Amino acid sequence: MFKTLFLFLTLFLPLSCVSWNPEDQKKAPEMNSSTSLEERVRIAIDFGGESIDSSRKIMEAKADTALVEALLLEIIPKEIEKWTEPQLIHAVQLYELTRPLDTSKLFALLTKFDDSIKLKLGWRLAGVGTSSNMAASIDAVLTHDMNNVEKHLIPEMAKSIGIHRIKNLYTVLRVGLFKKGDVAFAQAMIKIKPLDAANDFMSYLQQASSQELRQRTLVSVNSYTCSVILSHLEMTPISASNARVLKLFEFAVSRNIVLAKGAREVIESWAPTLGEALSEELARADVYVQIAFIEGTRREPSPNIKGILERLKNTTTHAAVLDELANLRL
């Protein structure tokens, strides 16, 4: 837990903040325009925080950004295995501040390791780089590690694939979604193959059992990821032949208010074109799902839902459901 917090604070706090690196308890040497380039870089790496900010200001004032970038590209490979984790993080932070156009070399180096910090830093750099080499480098790294791809299944990887829109890596994102559940995988899938994503998202939702959806807390799926998925499904109807839409009704009557509302909005959106299929699926649902869905419609009437419930009168086999429908003003 502490290591996770440490990572978050070190990687994402503004660089002007005081570093949480214990080495910063020592007073960092002051630097100015007379300080040599290498000394400025070394101080920033060793002390982080305000030293990085000072190094950046001098770098910009002296317009030697390209020289700083070149020096970092030289020393990071040499010292990556000697440095402490904070030193490596500081080095990459300073490298990012040079605004490099091509981060593919350092990305390839960092992702060779199994260490989680190096992988996070490497994949973050993949999202920073804008050169045409970056997409090819990402593809090459994942192809090379196909038998060990799970080590790369982190949100930073998903974001990088999405940023560079590498369509042939869609399957890797899909694997990441089902194994990790993080929203970054779903968002990247939407970016590069929105129609395929919609159908795959239905499979992801299937992982939540009807019993689990009757609880407030979901374990088998990520609630936030599900909310993003439902927003996408509302705008992207799936094929009528997809026989897994029953799960939408289970979500629509779940105890999670946000997900229930999102699922109902999907059903409303799909009703004009998939009304018959939706009605047939609702008729297959457990009695409690059918009744709860009818009660939800009573609280929030919808013209699009009306057609589904009208058809339900002819498709349901449960007397209790027919009674509820008889008492519902459509």
278-298 residue pLDDT tens:
999 999 999 999 999 999 998
Over residues 105-129, mean pLDDT = 94
Q: How confident is the model at residue 300 (pLDDT cuts 50, 70, 90)?
A: confident
What does the radius of gyration of the chain's CA atoms come to, in whole angstroms?
Answer: 26
The C-alpha atoms of residue 186 and residue 171 are separated, in whole angstroms, by 12
Distance, in Å, from the CA atom of 38 to the CA atom of 35, rounded to the nearest integer, reads: 8
Structure confidence at residue 242 as a pLDDT band (50, 70, 90): low
pLDDT at 126: 94
Give the separation between CA 280 and CA 285, rounded to whole angstroms.
9
Residue 311 falls in which region: left (phi positive, over 0), alpha (psi -120 to 50) or beta: alpha
Has residue 12 got a pLDDT over 50? no
How many CB atoms are located within 10 Å of the residue 301 CB? Answer: 11
Sign of the Cα pseudo-torsion (16, 17, 21, 27, in order) = positive
**Per-position b or e across 27-60, b if 16+ CB within 10 A of its CB:** ebeebeeebebeebbbbbbbbbbbbbbbbbebbe
* pLDDT at position 247 over 90: yes
pTM of the prediction?
0.86
Helix 85-97 with 116-128: angle, nearest 10 deg: 0
pLDDT band at 244 (very low <50, low <70, confident <90, very high): confident
